[in-house]
Amino acid sequence: MAVHGRRRLRELFDDAPTPHIAHPPQTHRRDYYLAADGSFSSDGSGLGVVIEARDGTRVARLAVPDDAPDNNVAEYRALHLGLDTLAARTPPGTRIGVLVDHDDLAANVNTAVLAGRHPDYEPLKPFHHPPGIGHHWRGIRARVAGFEGVRAARIDSAHNPAHTLANDPAEYAHVNDEPASCPTGGYDGGNDPQVPPPSRANRHAGD
């Protein structure tokens, strides 16, 4: 069930830039949307994940304590966790939109998507990622390759619903016990005309 009073992940994705990949209106045709965030402080780190279907139905939320050495590593760990969670719950052929508030991470994901279209899997431009992410970056690339379509968008941390979960995983530990939501099925492409997404369609009405 969609949560009232806040914007759906689909709407946030539609309004956000997707580094290194053109963002035409039809990119809102995703099956699922994943918001991830990682936090770091001297008191401890945390990973936050929010997953929704395209209609706003919540699929999963996670708030997990972590021991990341810095904030950059925490961001990659959070996305790895989110992609693993989504991959375990979705059928083949799934198209996803990823929301993160880390510029380089969003750019690296989209660069990895483009690299996956070439026989040698080499990126068109070098990846710029922090040291210490180890197998998490390899895991992210493997998950990206396993979905039918992936695009990453960058949003401000104030608009990232995973931010609160990552910054206080103990307070929000109850979300980890929420019942798993069943997949809603893939996008069939049959009933969605070539129009701007809902968050853009009426933006200039009355101008």
Q: For 88-132, how does the pLDDT look when each residue is reduced to its tens digit (9 = 90+)?
A: 988 888 999 999 999 899 998 998 888 876 655 565 666 677 777
Helices (H) and strands (E) in the chain, counts: 6, 5
Paired strand residues for 49: 36, 62
The rounded distance, in Å, linking the Cα atoms of 97 and 52 is: 10
CA distances from 149 to 30, 49, 181 (A): 8, 19, 21
Q: For 161-200, how does the pLDDT look when each residue is reduced to its tens digit (9 = 90+)?
A: 999 999 999 999 999 999 877 655 544 444 443 333 333 3
Q: How confident is the model at residue 151 (pLDDT cuts 50, 70, 90)?
A: very high
The rounded distance, in Å, linking the Cα atoms of 28 and 192 is: 10
Task: Region of 156 please: left (phi>0), alpha (psi -120 to 50) or beta.
Answer: beta
| pTM higher than the cut 0.85 | no
Paired strand residues for 53: 32
Alpha-carbon Rg for the chain, nearest whole angstrom, is 17
Question: Looking at this protein, which amino acid is placed at residue 128?
Answer: H
CA quadruple 79, 142, 87, 155: dihedral sign: positive
